Amino acid sequence: MANLFNIGYKKIISWSIALILLSIISILFFDREIYFWINLNLHHGHFHSSQLKGKTAFYEFVTAELTLLGFVALLIVMMLHDSKKIPSKFAFLFFVVYQMIFLFIVNITKVYLKFIFARCVPEICFLPDYVSLVNTWGFHWLSFDFASFPSGHSVLMGYCFLWSRVIKSKFSNFVSWIFLAMILGMILFNYHFLGDCLAGTGIGLILGLLGVFLWNKIIIRCTFLN
């Protein structure tokens, strides 16, 4: 049987590498300037999420990666149900379980990438108590104390974005707009640097590509799913 989801692997890999290279350029030359411009011109000083006052709980809910993980899983299932590409109900259920397992792998991957690179979150590292103690723009390596790079939100949304394009669902444009709004919000509210988001997106695309590749291998070998 032919692959259920056809995808240009070389094209996606090229885009992923390009995003990671742009991330390196951003870290070296643009993250600092973007941070200062946003906080001087939009916030009139350093912004911290606690300044949202009554909206802090909502902010924490929206930015929580567990919330995003559930949203991504639900969206992928909705997209696939809409696309009618799964040949049977049993195969659809199997796909849901597959996505849950793979999203767990994606989540673990980004957690350990954050541990390896250990870059400080902008809203924390520029507070008076921290700014003189940490490497504000760089990496601290092998530490769970810092978790800015790569952006976990961007990893998960990059993964979801790839699946939305592969499935060719009517939700694809919705995913794209949510993705752009999320990245813009994280940068504007000092939740991440631009370089974090670019790298996270590239990694998410690579993980999504791996997910599609493995699914195609499974669906070809498991004839009971047809």
Which residue, 189, 188, 178, 111, is CA-closest to 151? 111
pLDDT of residue 126: 72
Whether the predicted pLDDT of 195 surpasses 90:
yes
Supply the pTM of this predicted model.
0.85
Amino acid at 114: K
Average pLDDT over the chain, rounded to an integer = 80
| pLDDT tens per residue, range 124-156 | 777 766 666 677 778 889 988 888 899 998 998
pLDDT tens for 85-94 read 666 677 778 8
72-81, 131-140, 148-157, 170-179 — most confident range = 148-157
Is 108 exposed, middle or buried (CB count within 10 Å of its CB: 0-12, 13-18, 19+)? exposed
User: Identity (one letter) of the amino acid at 184?
Assistant: L
Please give the Cα distance from 192 to 120 (Å, whole number).
Answer: 9
Residues 167, 37: Cα–Cα separation, whole Å: 39
Q: Which residue has the higher pLDDT, 44 or 75?
A: 75
Domain residue ranges of the chain, discontinuous segments joined by +? 9-225
Rounded Cα–Cα distance for residues 46 and 136 (Å): 14
Structure tokens at 14: 């090229």
- For the chain, the farthest-separated pair of C-alpha atoms sits apart, in whole angstroms, at 61
Report residue 142 as tokens: 């092998």
Contact call for residues 174 and 153 (beta carbons, < 8 A) = no
Is residue 186 within a helix (H) or strand (E), and if so which, with residue range? helix 172-188
